Chain A
Amino acid sequence: MSGPEQNVEPAELAPAAKADLDRAFEDFYRAHLRDVYSYAYYRVGNHHDAEDLTEQAFLQAYRHFDRARRESDGRPLRPWVIRIAHNLASNYYRDRSRRPQTPLESTEPIAARHDTEAIAEGREELRQVMAHLEHLPEDRRDALIMRFALGMDNREIARALGRTDGATKVLIHRAIKQLQEEMSDERAA
């Protein structure tokens, strides 16, 4: 009864099928945890909320993983899980009507302080680019995070944002141009 368009909850699967699904999901989780976490961190600006967001994204992915695998036709699932995180991050701001509580570079360090934070302290340009990035429109900021933090190509970003390849290319170009102009203006001032 489960056609390709239907979603079967993992708990409803037969034990053998569920074991297979769980194994595949474990691999998927390991392969994409860093990407989802990086994306979440750069979106929300602190580790605490990034952990929550990452957990929620993977829980949601698990519920629909079986269907996503069937419908992916062998295409990578990274844009799909990043899209889930992207939607959750958008809701996060909408529900709480807030922007990141703290700028990225002053985020409280966790056990292992990340290189980026250390570098940002010593380098004014990095601080500046992060500050300007934070104030970009959401879609432009997202596209840049996906490109530079996650190393996604235009096609993957397009799938994650639900846009065409062409529109994504333009989006990234404009985002970079806006950053360039704003930073040049700041320097001139």
Chain B
Amino acid sequence: MSEPRETLSGSTWDVEQLLGDALRPIEPPERLSGRFEDTMAAVTQAAAEELSDWADELSESELRALRDPRNWVRPVVAVGAGGVATGALVLLELRRRGRNRSESGLRSLTGGLRSRL
């Protein structure tokens, strides 16, 4: 059935026939279904418990509020406002330092001129 057949380029194998014979579907062992059901039950049970533990800590209305994107605006605005305020404080501090530095520079310049005179 799968003897090499002669072609113009020499002998060749009927590989497709051989592959068809060799690669037969494999029946899974019966225990696999039981094993999978056990694993799946354990996984879904664990997921459900984790979810209910988490949900217990929050009321239904809180959960709904958390999921509602409209309620995400306030925290975002608060974070933005905090950032702006921090930036303004940093700017003020930098300006103050800059002013001090120029004043002390002027003072040393006039001191130098006085000593020369």
Q: Report if A58-B26 is in contact (Cβ < 8 Å); known contacts: A1-B67, A11-B48, A125-B2.
A: no
B40 within 8 A of A: yes
Interface centre among B18, B22, B24 (most CB of A within 10 A): B22
**Contact B24–A115 (Cβ < 8 Å):** yes
Residues facing B in A1-29 (CB within 8 A) are: 1, 9-12, 29
Residues facing B in A92-142 (CB within 8 A) are: 110-112, 114-116, 119-120, 123, 125-126, 129-130, 133
Q: Report if A42-B23 is in contact (Cβ < 8 Å); known contacts: A12-B51, A180-B13.
A: yes
Q: How far is the CA of A47 from the CA of B32 in the complex (A)?
A: 11
User: Would you list the 5 A-B pairs with minimal beta carbon distance, nearest first?
Assistant: A11-B47, A37-B28, A148-B23, A149-B23, A129-B18
Residues facing A in B1-44 (CB within 8 A) are: 2, 4, 10-13, 15-16, 18-29, 32-33, 35-36, 39-40, 43-44
Minimum CB–CB distance from A61 to chain B (whole Å) comes to: 11
A-contacting residues of B (Cβ < 8 Å)? 2, 4, 10-13, 15-16, 18-29, 32-33, 35-36, 39-40, 43-44, 47-48, 50-51, 67
Which residue of the partner chain, among A37, A114, A187, contacts B4 with CB atoms under 8 Å?
Answer: A187
Q: How far is the CA of A33 from the CA of B35 in the complex (A)?
A: 13
Given contacts A116-B23, A150-B25, A184-B10, 7 further A-B contacts (CB under 8 A): A51-B29, A59-B36, A114-B24, A129-B22, A144-B23, A148-B23, A184-B11
